[in-house]
Structure 1
């Protein structure tokens, strides 16, 4: 694995620029609230539809965008690799497999039960990936996400086969579409759990930062490295599992955001976390707005827009690393 062993610079947590970022994101969220085919001003039930669809969708954009961007930041720090995030390590595919297993075992399961199944499976998959990294010394930074993508492809193939055998292939495709179209009042509230995950990440940010310097350094300063890795795995699994159940797959978001933020602010997790959350929300919101308006009155899944943007950024990062090498 490619490591970054220098001490991360300490940035200010709150600064005037952050307020500007909050204002910009606030404007984007206002656009989200008032963008759509349904006439919320002219229709008789416009106010009710606004409360049922627009507000939940906008809140889901905030929570899902922040959660996946934050998960990517933590995962990159713990693996010491800038090319990993939940969709390049198989975590999302494992969450989908857990969701599928719950649906097969209990077709009428509540969203909370589905969430638990996805979280457990995501934790198992992420734990397996981390164990693999610890047992195999990978020197090339690009090899790590390639291994993760391969593992994810295997899990995804198993999910597809099982879904095909149980006549649930269409449902599987809908789950992985990554769209906010179906987010309604009464169906998105479990997403608030990822806000607690964000608080937990902020509270233990310094430990994650030290763990990101490597096991030897972390152990020398008295940190329980294995405990921190287990905690990080659990938080990533919770965030990924919940977002997968409610929204679906949001590819490359956890890859794009931390890399852009670290270019300007270094690798201090606590200082970068507000910026990572803001940028994650902004990118998801912009992609969702594009998806809603590009072929209106129809919608393009946000995962499609994110996939295109993420692929371009991923290629750019590869070329940048190649120039450095």
Structure 2
């Protein structure tokens, strides 16, 4: 029942988002679109909607997988150095392959994101005091170190303005021809659903997983590859979107429990819906101007994150 309500809300806001913007288009105009209205709808509004849905669903699913594999509810691509590592990969591609295609840039960002995530997981294995808050703090420190390295080389090569663009999550520049890379993340999200049960078993610990005949390292590496690829595609297309992979899986687990396979569709839909609502708010708050998505998601996400922390502390007390 909750999935039906979630899907209905997602469809409602998705259709509504097509008619929000500076260029005036109403549902009645669909019966007789002018050439300009058709151009805006087909080349701007629809690509923007598709990128919002894919980015919201993808980053939320990434957070869910990372939380399952790390056994920590506050681990996500933005608190484990994944996004910072991908940004370093983008810088390397700009430095070494100045005229590289978006696919080459994404491949390099993917490799760096994967390497950064592997390093974080290795650090996690060596941490003895695995407090639920301490682990993501370690991830944030690790990410800040990578971000500092990226900033240093960006200043040295006079690329700081280029790199600043990757920090600003923004859908306003999404048009036909600038978002298609995100479609490559769809097979990876389908693979996440196929491997969901194995991720659940892997999340119970290496000893337990091996005792059940699971190839623990192979499953964990598969999960990290999925996360790195989806995070890289979102970063290259939209930029960084904070808190998304952290708060959405936690909200879903509150009303759905911790069954990964059961939670994946809910997480994908709620993530897409949350980003969609934040994007609509960003378009109407200071209309006709627009707030970037990382600002609206950051403000709302930080409030939800604080509530999750307080809720967890009250339960532990």
Residue of structure 2 aligned with 1:118, choices 109, 117, 128 = 109
1:114 positional shift: 1.1
Partner of 1:288: 279
Give the superposed CA RMSD.
Answer: 1.2
- Partners of 1:134 and 1:188 in 2: how far apart? 36
Residue of structure 2 aligned with 1:162, choices 153, 162, 168 = 153
1:100 positional shift: 1.0
Unaligned runs of 5+ in 2: none
| Structure 2 residue 17 is matched with structure 1 residue 32 | yes
| Structure 2 residue 88 is matched with structure 1 residue 97 | yes
Q: Deviations over 1:41-78 (max 9, x none)?
A: 58642101211111000000110100000000000000
- Partners of 1:44 and 1:304 in 2: how far apart? 33
TM-score of the superposed pair, with normalisation by structure 1: 0.93
Q: How many residues align?
A: 310
Which SS does the other structure have where 1:45 is aligned? helix
Partner of 1:10: none
Q: Deviations over 1:99-158 (max 9, x none)?
A: 111011122211111111111110000000001111222331111100000011011111
Which SS does the other structure have where 1:179 is aligned? coil
- Partners of 2:109 and 2:174 in 1: how far apart? 18
Partner of 1:185: 176
Partner of 2:51: 60
- Partners of 2:205 and 2:303 in 1: how far apart? 30
- Partners of 1:121 and 1:155 in 2: how far apart? 11
| Structure 2 residue 186 is matched with structure 1 residue 195 | yes
Residue of structure 1 aligned with 2:242, choices 230, 237, 251 = 251
Q: Deviations over 1:270-299 (max 9, x none)?
A: 101110011000100011111111111211
Which SS does the other structure have where 2:249 is aligned? helix
TM-score of the superposed pair, with normalisation by structure 2: 0.95
Partner of 1:148: 139
Partner of 1:11: none
Residue of structure 1 aligned with 2:214, choices 183, 201, 223 = 223
When structure 1 is superposed on structure 2, of 31-40 and 52-61 the one drifting more is 31-40
Unaligned runs of 5+ in 1: 1-15
Which SS does the other structure have where 2:175 is aligned? coil
- Partners of 1:130 and 1:55 in 2: how far apart? 38
Select the structure that is richer in helix: 2
- Partners of 1:309 and 1:24 in 2: how far apart? 19
